Structure 1
Amino acid sequence: MDAAIAQMVAFTDATPDRARQYLQVTDGDVEQAVSLFFESGGVDLGGPAPVVTESSTTAVGSGNARDPISIDDEEDVPVTRSTIPAAGMEDDEAMARRLQEEMYGGAGEEEVIRAPIARQAETLAGPGASDYYGGSSLDDAVQERLQAFSNRRGARRAPGIFNQQPTSRIWQEGAADRSALAESTGGASETNSRAQHLARLFAPNWGLMFNGSWDDARDEGKAEKKWLIVNIQNEKVFDCQVLNRDIWNNPSIVETVTENFLFLQYSKDDPRADQYCQYYFHNSEVEDEYPHVAIVDPRTGEQVKLWSRKIPNAGEFLMQLHEFLDRYSLDNTARNPVAKRKSEAKKEKPLDMLTEEEQMERALQASMAGQGSLKVPDEDPDELTRSVGDLKGKDVAMVETEQTQTNGSAAPSLWAQIPSDKPHEEPPANAAETTRIQIRHPEGRIVRRFALKDKVQRIFEYLKASPIEGREGIEFDVVAMGTNLMNVRDQTIEEAGLKNASVMVEFSES
C-alpha cells in the first residue's frame, strides 16, 4: 500500500491521506485511482482514511475487519442484503447515495443547462408528397417522422449503476448474469468489485417486471384478473433506488405481486410512461412527489391505491397489499369500496375562469416560487373510502327495501341464518390439526385458533356470538384475498385455504 501511495502522489501531487482514500475505493489499483482522482477533481472521499498496518494488510477483495465485504472480481457471486453485515450495509448505502448524487444530481442541485439544439432542415409535406418520398404513401412518411421525433424526445440518460436499462439478455437471463449486468449498466458495474456489488444490490427486479406497453398490460390484467401495480422511477431520488433493494426484491412481496398483480416499472423519462403520467401522475416533474407507486384497475383504468413521497418498510408494505386484496376484488360480482367523502386536496380553478387580477396573482406566484410548487399533491383514492358511514350498507338497505316492496316480505339473509349462540372455544394447540387466523376489523385485530377441520361458518358464529364492541347486531361480511367467505362457509378452513390466513371484517352499516 505504501508503494502504491507513493506512485499516486508522484502522478497526481495529492497528499498521502487523499491518495490512500482513492486507492481504498479502487481496491489498490493505482491506475484506476489516478483516473478517478482526475475525473472527480481530487475531492475528499469521506474524511481521514483509517491507518492500515502491514500486519493487517490482505489481498485485494479478500475481506477483513475494516472491509467486511468479500467479493472476487473473477467470480460471479450473487449478493443479497441478508448476506451483508449491518455495518457493511450502512457503508454501502452511504457510498451509493453519494455516487448517485454525483452521477445524477441531488434534489436540491440546479439543473445543468443542456447544449443548444442543433440546427436541422425540415421539409413540409403537401400535395404530391408521395412522389417526393419515392412513391411511398404520405401516411407512412408521416408515421416515420413522428417515430423519429418520439425517439429524440425519449432519449434517456446514459446507463449506469442507478439507471440500469433493460436489455434482451436481462429479460432472458436475469440480473444474476455478470455480462448482462455490465450491459445493463453500460459497463459501470465492471469498474471494480464495489461498483459491481452496488449495481447488483440496487438492480431492478427484471423477472418480476411486465415487459410490454401500458395498453398490453391492461389487456392482460383483464384477461388474467390481475391488478396493475405501477412504479415510476426518478434516478435523481435515492429513495427510488431503495425500492429496488428493499421492496421489489423482497421474497414475500415478490410472491404476492406475482400472484395478484402485473408489475410495471418505468423511468419518468421513458416514453412508455407518458400515457400513465398524463392520466395519473401530473406532478411527475416534481422530485418531492417521489417515490411513486400506485394500483390501477385494468378494467376501468381507475387508480384505486397510491403510495406517494413516503413508502413504508417491506413488512408494512406487504401488510397493506394484503389489506388491499381483502377489500378489493376484480370479480364482477364483488362490491368494491367507493368514495364516501370528497377529496381534501385544494384544486385550482381553470385559467379561463380566473379574473384578470387572479391571473396576474397566479403568474406572480409561479415566477417567484416556481411552477412545481403550485401543483396540487396527489391523494390516495383508497383513503377516500375510509370514513364513518358505509355507502355499501346503504346500497344493501335499498336493495332489501325494493325486494320487500316487490315480494311483500323479505327473505332472511344468509347472515341472519348464522346462529348467534355458539361462542368460540379454542382447540388445544396442535400444529398438524390447528391454525391461527388473524381477524382484522375497523377497531383493530384479533387472533384466534381454529381446527383445520372446522367449517368456515365457525368464524361467522364466533363473530356473531362475541360481537365487536359498538357493532352489536350489525350485519357484516368476512373477506379473504378478495373472496367473500359467506360463499364458502360450508367448506373446511383447510379446504378454503385459510391456514395462517388474515381475514377482513366489513360491516354493512348506514
Structure 2
Amino acid sequence: MQDEAVAHFVLVTGADAKTAEGLIEACNGDLESAIQLYFDTQAGSAHYSDEAFARSLQQQHASSAQDGPSDSSAEIRAPIPIMKDTLYGEGAQHMLRHHSKSRNSERASAQDVNAFRDFQAEGRGPSGVSSSSGLASLFKAPFALMFQGTIDEAKAKAVQEGKWLMVNVQSNSEFASHQLNRDTWSDPTVSSILMGSFIFWQVTDSSDMGGRFMTSYRIDSVTELPITLILDPITGAKQRQFLGFIEPQRLAEDLVPFMDHDIHHPSAHKLATQHKRKQTQHQPATKKVMTEEDELQMALAMSVEDISQPQASTSAPADVTAQAPAAANGPAPVSSNTTKGIHNGMHERENASAVANGAAHQAPDEASVIAEAKARLPSEPGSSDPNGCRIAIRLPSGDRLTRTFSKTDSVSALEDYCMSEAPGAAIRPFKLMQAFPGAPPLANSSQSLQAAGLAGGVIAFKWTD
C-alpha cells in the first residue's frame, strides 16, 4: 500500500521516491495532503506548467505502455491552449452597471441604521410591527416630510414647486441628530412651515448619498454633524446653516424670511447677505490696537492743538481792549442783528424748555402704561405644568421675546407682555399675528391661546403707524 502511494505521488508531482516517502510519512499516510504539501513547499524550486505536466504524464503513460499492457485504453489529451475573448458585450455591461447601481442603493439603505430599533418588540408584535411606545417611534425620522430621492431630484422638485431646499445631514452616533427627529421635525409649527415652503431632504453621513453631499459642501463629519442647510435649488448656493440641535421656536422664527420670499422673488438672493450683515452688526466692535507710529502721530497732533489754543485765547483780550474805549465813551448802539440774535436765543431756550417739560410729562405716562401692563400679566406657569406653553414674539428689529404662558391665558396677555417688554410698544400702536405669510392680525383679545392656535408658536410683531 505504501509503495502504491509513493508511485502515485511520483506520477502526479514528478518528484523522486525519497521525497514522496518523506512527505507521505509527514502527513500520516494521507496521499492528498502530501501532494498538496509538496506543491505548497516548492518555493524556489522549478514548477511545472500545465503543458509540461501533461507532457510528463503522456511520457510516463507511453513508457508504461511499452513495458506492458495498460488497463486504460484512453489517451491523456493535451491541455486546452490559452485564449482570450470577450465574455459579454455592451448589453451585458449595461445590465451589470444597472445591477451595481441597485446594489449600491441597497447598501446605502442598509447603512441607514435605525439606532433605536426595538428588535424584541418586533419579534413579539403581530406581523413584525413594533410597538408605538418604543424608542424607535420616539426618535423615528420624519418620513412624512422627507423627499425620497437623490439631491439632484430634490433640487428639481424644489425648482418645479418654487420652494427652498432644506438639507439635514445626520449622524447615528450623535444624539443631537435623534433629538432633531424627536423635538424639532415633529413640532407642528415647524412641520407646517416645511410642508408649505420647503422641500426637506434628510440623509445620514454613512450613506453613499450623504458622503457625496458632505464632500461637495465640505462638511466635516467630526465637528459639524448634525448640520441643517437651506439651499437655493436653482444655484445650489448655501443661504443659511445650522449646526447641532435647533430649538423649534428658533428655527420657525429664522424661517420666516424664507416664507415671505420664494426662490423666484427679486430679493431672494439677498437673504444670505442680509443675515450675514445682521450677524456682523450684532458682533461687538473690536478695539483697534495702536502701533508706535500711530501713537507718535497722535502725540504730534495733540502738541499742535496745544500750541494753537493759546493763540486763539490771546486774540480775545485784544478784541475786548479794542472795544473798551467805545464802552468808555458811552453805551454803543445796539444793532438790529444783535437784537434778532437775542430774540432767537430766547426762543430757542423757550422751545428747549418746552420740549424738556413735554418729555418730563411723557416719561411718567409711558412708565405708568408699562407698570399697568406688567400688573395685568398672569403669572408664569412652572416647567412641570402640563398647560404651560412657550411663545416666541419676533420684533421688527429681528430680536425676539420668549415667555411661558398658560394655554388658557387670553390673547390680551400677549399684548400686555409686548407693552411691558418691547421698546416703544407702550406708546406706539402695534399688531400681533401668526408668523406665516398672509396671516391676519389677532383681533379677538379675549380668545384663549389654545383656541387661537398660538400655543407653542411664533408670533410676529408689527407697527401699525
TM interval, short-chain normalised: 0.3 to 0.5
Structure showing greater Rg: 2
What's the TM-score, normalizing by structure 1? 0.37
Name the one with the larger helix percent.
2
